[in-house]
Amino acid sequence: MHTTIKKVTIKSYLDFAQLIKEYQGSHEENRVFALKHKGALENPSKLVMLWTKTNLFRLRETADSENFLHHFSSVSNLIGFLFLLMGFFAGIGLLSYSGHAPVNIIYYLLFAMMIPLLSMLITIFSMISGGEVSNFFNLFFSLHWVEKFVNLFAFNSKIKTLNSSFPQTLKKWIFIHRLQLFSLLFSVGLLLSLLVMVVSKDIAFSWSTTLNVTPMAFHELLSWVAKPWEFLVPSAIPSVELVEMSQYFRLGETLNKEMVQNADKLGAWWQFLAMVTLIYAIFLRAILWLVSRYAYQKQLEKDFLEIEGMEMLIREFQTPYVSTEAPKVEQHLDIVEETDAQVKQNRRRAFNNIVGWNFSADEIALVNDSKEIKGVHIDIVGGSHTFSKDQEIARQISRTVLLYVKSWEPPTMDFVDFLELLIESKKVDEIHVYPLGTVGRYYASDAKEVAVWKRKIQGLKSKKVWVIDA
């Protein structure tokens, strides 16, 4: 099955976290889903994302991710644009050459190299440290405050809670990742302003410091800075003459004449400054940005698997679904409770016929003795007799009949068939069914068992049949 889902995203994170609270699916459903997407079975995250996508329609409200990402991306766009602008205008400011004083490249270097390097260093500290410590480092970044400020405008409290629902480490990586991007934009803005200024104006660059630095030493320093592009762009390394020439106080003495003359020579600085921006502010930052993106993705994937309910779902995906129950629901049998109808508490002592259902002749004799019951005719029915033999016996039975039954053996239809022969017989007046317990219990039967017989016989609705419950 072809799917476009590849990586865990903030959207997949939020969608799953929201969905699993409302819908978990049964083990059976989830396992069936997993088996349907066999290809994804060994990659749980991917399977979960597919599952989320399939089941997202079940959400009762709009997906949180929609609101959040909308907010998140508009805020990001805004901040990103702001940083680009800030970079650009910072550059314009730095490179503005009023005609009175040349542009001090040291200021520019401060923004294009020193501050970025420092901020990258802090970023790295924040990356490698965890928890409170990294939070502390983050306080140094303007983005931290900008975000705080922007969040104040996030009147949608849901977004706020979503924001804070991310695990701490993930939040850190989201922050660092965005920070790199915005810083990159800032530096791009800076570079752009440099290029714009160079194209549109003649800029006289100079350098000055209160420290006692000789042009030689300064040149030495700059060669170090320019090491990375020494071979690649040798023209972007200022020469000793240029460094000497552009020391501020020298320029100062002959500002008017020589400055104008040397303006294009002094302008050779721009290549150096462009390379500094490109390498230190942009290239290094881009690396950091990639690193942070990687780490953020890894963290997201890790935290994704730790969302509450995830473990359970994955377990259900991976565990074969075993069922043992009957798939169909059983029709429920209505039980009619027994009443007192057709029940005799005391028994007669003499019957015209005594019949034992599933008893042997000896057994019947034993019962008669013990219960002091007498009968004129004694017969055995049921058991291994055939039904036709029973029919024959039934024809001979007349007047009063005592029918011994084993109380523990429930009345089968076979018995009912025989009983009906007696009921239908005109010769028979009264039939007494006597459920007996086992010999071991001196024929005493269980009330529960007798109740079964009562119910059966009451169900026949014949006034001729009685159950003895003595």
Partner 1 sequence: MRNNKENVNDYPKFAVVGHPNKGKSSIVSSLALDDSVQIGDTPGTTQIKRGFPLKVDGKIIYELFDTPGFQRARRVLAWLNEQDAVSADKRSDVVREFVATHRHDDKFRDEIELLEPILDGAGIIYVVDASKPYGPEYEVEMEILRWCGQPSMAILNLIGDEDYRDQWKSALGHYFRMVRTFNPIEATFRDHMDLLESMAQLKEEWTKEIKVAITILDELHQQKVEQTIDAIVDNMIKTLSLVYKQEIKGEKATSKEEEDAKQGYRQQIMEYEKAQEKAIEFIWNHRSIEKIENVLVLDEVGLFSKESASIFGLSQNELILTGASAGAITGAGVDLMLAGHTLFIASLVGGVVGGVGAMFGFNNLYSLEILGQNLGKRELSIGPMKNLNFPYILLGRALYHASVIAKRSHALRESIKLEDEEFYTEQIINTEMRKKLEKVHIQLRKGEGPSNELLDEYKKVISRSFLGLLRE
Neighbours of 171 (CB within 10 A): 17
Q: Does 447 bind partner 1 (CB under 8 A)?
A: no
What single-letter amino acid sits at 76? S
Report 369-388 residues binding partner 1 (CB under 8 A): 382-388
Q: Does 323 bind partner 1 (CB under 8 A)?
A: yes
Residue appearing with tokens 């009562």: 454
Nearer to partner 1, 371 or 455 (CB): 455
Q: Does 445 bind partner 1 (CB under 8 A)?
A: no
**What's the CA gap between 55 and 25, in Å, rounded?**
9
Q: Does 333 bind partner 1 (CB under 8 A)?
A: yes
Q: Does 77 bind partner 1 (CB under 8 A)?
A: no
Q: Which of 66, 220, 241, 414 binds partner 1 (CB under 8 A)?
A: 414
Q: Does 326 bind partner 1 (CB under 8 A)?
A: yes
Q: Does 328 bind partner 1 (CB under 8 A)?
A: yes
**What's the CA gap between 57 and 39, in Å, rounded?**
23
Q: Which of 158, 217, 438, 470 binds partner 1 (CB under 8 A)?
A: 438
Task: Say if residues 220 and 195 touch (Cβ distance below 8 Å).
Answer: no
Task: Say if residues 464 and 437 touch (Cβ distance below 8 Å).
Answer: no
Q: Does 441 bind partner 1 (CB under 8 A)?
A: yes
**What's the CA gap between 142 and 76, in Å, rounded?**
14
Least distance (Å) from partner 1 to the CB of residue 211?
47
Nearer to partner 1, 219 or 456 (CB): 456
Q: Is 26 helix (H, G, I), strand (E, B) or coil?
A: coil
Residue 422, burial from CB neighbour count under 10 angstroms (0-12, 13-18, 19+): buried
**What's the CA gap between 266 and 95, in Å, rounded?**
13
- CA nearest 392: which of 365, 433, 352, 355? 355
Q: Does 210 bind partner 1 (CB under 8 A)?
A: no
Q: Which of 413, 426, 461, 463 binds partner 1 (CB under 8 A)?
A: 413
Least distance (Å) from partner 1 to the CB of residue 49?
22
Greatest Cα pair distance in the chain: 156
Q: Which of 46, 71, 178, 406 binds partner 1 (CB under 8 A)?
A: 406
Q: Which stretch binds partner 1 (CB under 8 A): 101-109, 134-142, 299-307, 413-421?
A: 413-421
Least distance (Å) from partner 1 to the CB of residue 315?
9
Least distance (Å) from partner 1 to the CB of residue 373?
21
> Contact letters (x/-) for partner 1, 416-435, by CB under 8 A?
-x------------------
Nearer to partner 1, 134 or 445 (CB): 445
- CA nearest 403: which of 436, 425, 376, 371? 436
DSSP state, 338? P
> Contact letters (x/-) for partner 1, 3-32, by CB under 8 A?
----------------------------xx
Q: Which of 54, 235, 339, 412 binds partner 1 (CB under 8 A)?
A: 412
Helices of type H across 342-408: 361-371, 387-396
Nearer to partner 1, 116 or 411 (CB): 411
CA distances from 37 to 2, 47, 136, 284 (A): 10, 8, 45, 42
Least distance (Å) from partner 1 to the CB of residue 151?
16
Identify any residues that bridge with 205 across adjacent strands, giving them in sequence order.
103
**What's the CA gap between 469 and 454, in Å, rounded?**
9
Q: Does 358 bind partner 1 (CB under 8 A)?
A: yes
Determine how β-strand 343-344 pairs with β-strand 103-104.
unpaired
Q: Does 152 bind partner 1 (CB under 8 A)?
A: no
E strands in 4-129: 103-104
Which positions touch partner 1 (CB under 8 A)?
31-32, 35, 319-333, 335, 358, 382-388, 406, 408-414, 417, 438-441, 446, 448, 451-452, 455
